[in-house]
Amino acid sequence: MKIALIIILIFVIMLIARAVSEQYKDRYDFFNNLKNFLNHLRLNISFKQDKIGNFLKKVEAKRQFKIFINSYQEYLETNQLSLEGISVLEESDKNILQEIVKNVGKFDAKNEMGQLDNFIMVVDEKLIKAKQDKEKLCPMIIKLSLLFAIGLSIVLI
């Protein structure tokens, strides 16, 4: 009975560790999708907000990025941007996204390209940091959790 409880404890601790490490993976995926989205927008859009809405309907997004796309579509209809459902973003990230959403489609083609290039550079910096965190912290969280679970199991035996 005691061994079964210890196995369950290890399993629960590892599930929690996996959930925590998923946040770093989701953050990386979000910024990777955002960079791809901005590059695609830069190459294929005619820089009018009504056409951006049509473009957004064609975007196939998953998880956290889907929430952003839905929020962007809602912004085009209501002029209200809500990024509260995106859990992987910090406040500074939300400010960047608000600037992107509010400024895309409001300038002539030359200024629009420059604006998108600036946004892509900022997102690229966030992507590099998110990749470093994912590669460094995800394995570390899993290993430390496993060590903690094993140590706790030894103490309980």
What confidence tens digit (pLDDT) does each residue in 66-103 have? 888 888 888 878 888 887 888 888 888 888 888 887 77
Range of the domain at 7: 2-156
Is pLDDT above 60 for 125? yes
Output the CA angle 49-53-58, nearest 5 degrees. Answer: 140
Tell me the two tokens of residue 87.
């859990």
Q: Where residue 114 falls among pLDDT bands split at 50, 70, 90? A: confident
**Pairwise CA distance, residues 138 & 84, whole Å:** 24
> For residues 145 and 2, which has the higher predicted lDDT (pLDDT)?
145
Tell me the two tokens of residue 39.
């590059």
**Pairwise CA distance, residues 34 & 39, whole Å:** 9
CB neighbours of 13 closer than 8 A, spacing ≥ 6? 145, 146, 148, 149, 152
- Mean pLDDT along residues 118-130: 90
pLDDT digits (tens, 9 = 90+) for 142-157: 999 999 998 988 888 7
Model pLDDT, residue 129: 92
**Pairwise CA distance, residues 114 & 110, whole Å:** 6
Output the CA angle 87-89-95, nearest 5 degrees. Answer: 130
- Amino acid identity of residue 141, one-letter, is I
Model pLDDT, residue 132: 93
Count of domains forming the chain: 1
> For residues 54 and 6, which has the higher predicted lDDT (pLDDT)?
6
Tell me the two tokens of residue 45.
């859009």
